[in-house]
Amino acid sequence: MTSKSAAAAARATVYGYPRQGQDRQLKKAIEGYWKGRVTADALLATAAELRRTNWQHLSGAGLHEVPTGDFSFYDHVLDTTVMVGAVPERHRAAVEADALDGYFAMARGTQDVAPLEMTKWFDTNYHYLVPELGPDTVFTADARKPVAELKEALALGLTPRPVLVGPVTYLLLAKPAPGVAADFVPLTLLDRLLPVYAEVPADLRAAGAEWVQLDEPALVQDRTPAELNAATRAYRDLGGLADRPQLLAATYFDRLGEALPILAKAPVEGLALDFTGPAAANLEALAAVGGLPGKRLVAGVVDGRNIWVNDLEKSLATLGTLLGLADRVDVSASCSLLHVPLDAAAEKDIDPHILRWLAFARQKTAEIATLATGLSKGTDAVNGQLAANRAALASRATSPITRDPAVRSRAAAVSDADVRRSQPYTERVAAQRTRLDLPLLPTTTIGSFPQTSELRTARADLRTRVIDAAGYEDRIKAEIREVISYQEKAGLDVLVHGEAERNDMVQYFAEQLTGYLATRHGWVQSYGTRYVRPPILAGDISRPEAMTVRWTTYAQSLTSKPVKGMLTGPVTMLAWSFVRDDQPLGETARQVALALRDEVADLEAAGTAVIQVDEPALRETLPLRAADHAAYLAWATAAFRLTTCGVRPDTQIHTHMCYAEFGDIVQAIDDLDADVISLEAARSRMQVAHELASHGYPREAGPGVWDIHSPRVPSAEEAAALLRTALEAIPAERLWVNPDCGLKTRGWPETRASLESLVTAAHAVRGELSGS
């Protein structure tokens, strides 16, 4: 039993909370504003109500301190760009004319002005807007948003803690602005930025903040001596200020490593650490540096990124150990709860026996409150919760749902031959070119076409039995006919069926595989107003029957041009799901790969000449520490090859990746042994094409020429200019022409106009290459 006197100060808190609302009210309000159906005042009122609801729930659930400033209309890193006055020059006029419209223009672009680049937030599926900085950047403090939200929480009688992206992480996430030398290092602007991080917390203190949290997740990555010295200087200077609130430096997603003694010794009042997964190593490391005498430790012992119930007794043991390492130990999730759905109780379709294994954001706040109570008052005070938790853990551990002997036997029998193509690329490429007979610079799309309201209505009608399966199939076939007809008229060379039948690129497959659970309301923000419902990978995986073959073969029957078979790869199936935590990821990936291998075989047997297996999550799932990379990439690339290597030499395997930093995984991309890879490249100005060239990548590639995450339509000359840049790195005989990503989120008018530009650009550059 924990000593009451030793733990009397324990408090419960979180670093952030889902923004969207139970019914995705924020998404609907923002998209309504973009379409002119919702006024700015109405949008602001919706946002204020969502913040109030969240804070009151957190307080009512037993949390002693609520986060403010974590709410965002699009992205919290973009909010930080506004807060520090780093608005790119091309967007300044729009921001000055109308702050809200200018904010959205930075995120989405306009027809005349490109948006900021977007990429993955560390190893999550959340995307942030990359700050653009240069030697001439001038920072100015704008604390209006964090101060206003702080005052809202104070007016409700709550104890708020403003949360800001820390200065070191902000600069490490930034890139050189367009026109700035590529070797410019944004971290050199630290001394220029720190006065802003003195002024904003001072403004928050004046408005009533006792504590301000500065998030520094970039410090859990491998950092150079110069970067660690910058962190030392930043927190020495900020901690030395007289007019400031108490500061809580927060890190999450992994072990802190070399930066731990820096933050432990910094003159700040508190440190927040992750103690889940690989970050559990923080406990031993914290003891090794002498703990945090005289300081507050916020211990992230509840996993903020997965949805399984916490082992409360194990967490209490960890917290008990930590009591001797800090002046005060408080309890939190490992990171912001932004990365999990809102409420498991809303999932009425999941078997109650299984539902008790799950903890979404609301359940996690209850776990945190229970742990804080147990730490402060002893385990007798939470005996009921501990007993229920033990029962839930035992139920999951012994459930037959989690183990299928046939699946495990097949996975154990995989051999080296199963993960190698029968011929090397240099030999099979000739057979593929003969079979496909494509022109120079072949054009294609990534897979999905616009998901119209009519398609969503058809799925809803099927679910509510307004139409039967035959009626639904007729609607999907009609959409496929339209998509194929349009692509032929547009002049695309390799076609897709458009994925009209798919609700999501992971969920669609998960619903047809054993071992997965689907949610009805488990929405999680991916970027802006794009929300996904990650399925839950609860047991062993197999494929009872073919999943895509009938739609692909139907599409192929409508055209003489090749139609790609479209699958989601095993790593992405894991990364964009809530994956089981009771066995190594590599074992689960092998099971998924074998199920997909069966689908690839059936597509090939049905005559599909081009099969695309998307792996956009390969880079985002890369561990944050370099020491962990090799083991991850070994099983990840092997899982892809296990999926794809059973095909004939003349079957062309494609893959696709988007919105990540690819430079440090080019060797892994090579190891996939895909015949063609398409990659996001438009916002980053073809950076990845040069990274492939520097590596000596020997296969075909399609760096995207159209940024599909912006509503703007590129001109044919813009697309042609990007193609010419790509040709500086990739020979014409190995270069494909395609968008950055799938077109599901775009409307038909902009899709038609943009693809017309893409095809026109390809024809123009072909002409230049042929001299005609």
Rg (CA), the chain: 26
Q: Which two tokens stand for residue 482?
A: 């339209």
Q: Which two tokens stand for residue 265?
A: 């010794």
Burial per residue of 616-640, b for 16 or more beta-carbon CB atoms within 10 angstroms, e otherwise: bbbbbbbbbeeeebeebbebbbbbb
- Residues found in the chain: 772
Decide if 709 is catalytic: yes
* Contact present, 682 and 726 (Cβ < 8 Å): no
- H-helix or E-strand containing 629? helix 629-644
Kindly give, in sequence order, each residue whose CB lies less than 8 Å from that of residue 633, ignoring residues fewer than 6 positions away: 622, 665, 668, 671
DSSP 577: S
Q: How far apart are CA 483 and CA 487, in angstroms?
A: 6
Bridge pairing between strands 127-129 and 118-120: antiparallel
Q: How far apart are CA 526 and CA 678, in angstroms?
A: 21
Q: How far apart are CA 161 and CA 55, in angstroms?
A: 11
* Contact present, 740 and 703 (Cβ < 8 Å): no
Q: Which two tokens stand for residue 24?
A: 């995705």
Cα-to-chain-centroid distance, residue 354: 26
- H-helix or E-strand containing 335? none
Q: How far apart are CA 100 and CA 723, in angstroms?
A: 34
Residue 515, sorted as left (phi over 0), alpha (psi -120 to 50) or beta, turns out to be: left
Catalytic, out of 76, 127, 690, 709: 709
Q: How far apart are CA 601 and CA 651, in angstroms?
A: 11
Q: Token match 């992206």: residue?
A: 165
Q: Which two tokens stand for residue 88?
A: 């790119």
Q: How far apart are CA 22 and CA 31, in angstroms?
A: 17
Q: Token match 């055209």: residue?
A: 559
* Contact present, 63 and 368 (Cβ < 8 Å): yes
Whole-angstrom distance between the N-terminal and C-terminal Cα of the chain? Answer: 84
Phi, psi angles (nearest 5°) of residue 327: -70, -35
| SS3 letters across 703-768 | ECCCCCCCCCCCCHHHHHHHHHHHHCCCCHHHECECCCCCCCCCCHHHHHHHHHHHHHHHHHHHHH
Q: How far apart are CA 492 and CA 756, in angstroms?
A: 9
Q: Token match 């992994």: residue?
A: 254
If DSSP codes are grouped into helix, strand and coil, which group holds residue 120?
A: strand
Side-chain-side CA neighbours of residue 678 (13 Å): 25
Nearest to 566 by CA among 469, 479, 501, 493: 501
Q: Which two tokens stand for residue 277?
A: 């997964």
- H-helix or E-strand containing 770? helix 748-770
Side-chain-side CA neighbours of residue 380 (13 Å): 5
Residue type, 600: V
Q: In sequence order, what DSSP letters do the residues of 482-537 get, joined into one string?
A: HHHHHHHHHT-SSB--B-TT-S-TTHHHHTTSEEEE--SS--EEEETTEEE---EE
Largest CA distance in the chain: 85
Q: Which residues are catalytic?
A: 709
